[in-house]
């Protein structure tokens, strides 16, 4: 939710361009004494103090998939735009689907950047949904290959915050589903990955809240928010006003305090047109209307990003 709120506040995203999946709505959980609230920096029994604290679950949160609707099938359907006949509009990534179907673009959706954020329980080459099912890295790769053939995106950033997160990198799986970092056949192109831990490493929560007896935020997101200037900043304050100048590797990889993370950040720009340190944060964290040009210079810069999209998936946070 910290990422969700930041993108709406600093990146200009609207809920039409975000799919938010919450397997368990923490704010509404019976174990949470502060109903309809999540305080990432700690809570207070004092009502007046709580009103001054940063609350991630405000009135403007739109949850698109919750509870039993948070499934691998629905996750992949959103990516592919293959929804059931009666799927409501708010559960579709409308701008991405409209761009793909647009006659003006001749069905070409490659103006669109897609940001996928995954946090929850995972392991070596898999990510779990509600402790009931999971997808394998090879499954994700297969969906991305279909999206490539369908021209559903131009560039994609997958940020995974889970144990052994880097094993979800789709370019580490060959066509037979075997982990192989040297596999080149059938490469998935222009998919960047950033991960909070490497194979064999765990990803940890940053702190818990004694009032609810549970962890409230993961280390990776906490330190990313800290690097950007902290919680509760006004629009474009801190480093949020530098999204055109900051690059993804600088902000999402190099900024992480490995000694406090308890894990090493994994990243990949394999088979991508630009290196990760040449991709401005604004390519994924800013909602663009119409064609714009990045301020960063150098070969391969100056992509036209027409309506960057966000797919945000938060599973089993509680």
Which strand ranges, in their side-by-side order, compose the sheet holding 155-161? 65-66, 18-22, 309-314, 113-119, 155-161, 191-195, 266-268
Contacts of 241 (CB under 8 A, 6+ apart): none
Backbone phi, psi, residue 314, to 5°: -120, 115
Structure tokens at 255: 């900024």
Structure tokens at 246: 């900051």
| 3-class secondary-structure state, position 280 | strand
Say how many residues make up the chain.
Answer: 318
- Note the helical H segments in 53-136: 72-80, 94-101
Bridge pairing between strands 214-218 and 309-314: unpaired
| 3-class secondary-structure state, position 40 | coil
> In the annotation, is 121 catalytic?
yes
Q: Which of 25, 37, 39 lies closest to 208, judged by CA?
A: 39
What kind and span of H or E run contains 281?
Answer: none
Catalytic residue among 10, 163, 206, 272: 163
How far apart are the C-alpha atoms of 175 and 182, rounded to whole Å? 12
How far apart are the C-alpha atoms of 138 and 124, rounded to whole Å? 12
Give the N- to C-terminal CA distance of the chain in Å, as an integer: 12
In the Cβ-directed half-sphere of 159, how many Cα atoms lie within 13 Å?
22
- Residues pairing with 117 in the sheet: 159, 312
Catalytic residue among 121, 206, 214, 272: 121
How far apart are the C-alpha atoms of 276 and 63, rounded to whole Å? 31
- Indicate which residues carry an active-site annotation: 121, 163
């Amino acid at each position: 939710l910290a990422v969700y709120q930041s993108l709406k506040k600093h990146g200009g995203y609207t809920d039409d361009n975000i799919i938010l999946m919450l397997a368990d709505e923490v704010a509404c959980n019976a174990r949470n004494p502060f109903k309809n609230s999540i305080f990432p920096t700690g809570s207070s029994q004092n009502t007046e103090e709580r009103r001054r604290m940063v609350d991630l679950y405000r009135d403007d949160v739109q949850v698109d998939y919750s509870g039993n609707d948070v499934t691998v099938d629905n996750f992949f359907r959103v990516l592919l735009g293959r929804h059931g006949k009666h799927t409501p509009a708010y559960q579709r990534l409308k701008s991405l689907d409209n761009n793909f179907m647009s006659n003006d673009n001749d069905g070409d959706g490659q103006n669109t950047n897609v940001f996928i954020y995954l946090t929850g329980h995972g392991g070596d080459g898999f990510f779990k949904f509600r402790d009931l099912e999971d997808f394998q890295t090879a499954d994700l790769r297969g969906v991305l290959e279909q999206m490539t053939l369908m021209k559903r995106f131009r560039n994609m950033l997958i940020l995974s915050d889970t144990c052994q997160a880097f094993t979800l990198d789709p370019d580490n799986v060959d066509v037979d589903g075997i982990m192989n970092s040297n596999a080149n056949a059938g490469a998935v192109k222009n998919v960047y990955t950033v991960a909070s831990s490497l194979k064999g490493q765990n990803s940890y929560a940053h702190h818990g809240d004694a009032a609810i007896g549970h962890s409230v935020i993961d280390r990776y997101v906490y330190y990313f928010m800290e690097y950007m200037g902290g919680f509760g900043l006004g629009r474009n304050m801190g480093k949020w006003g530098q999204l055109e100048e900051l690059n993804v590797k600088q902000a999402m990889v190099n900024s992480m305090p490995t000694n406090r993370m308890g894990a090493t950040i994994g990243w990949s720009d394999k088979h991508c047109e630009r290196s990760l340190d040449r991709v401005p944060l604004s390519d994924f964290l800013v909602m663009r209307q119409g064609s714009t040009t990045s301020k960063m210079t150098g070969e391969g810069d100056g992509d036209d990003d027409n309506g960057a999209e966000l797919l945000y998936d938060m599973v089993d946070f509680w």
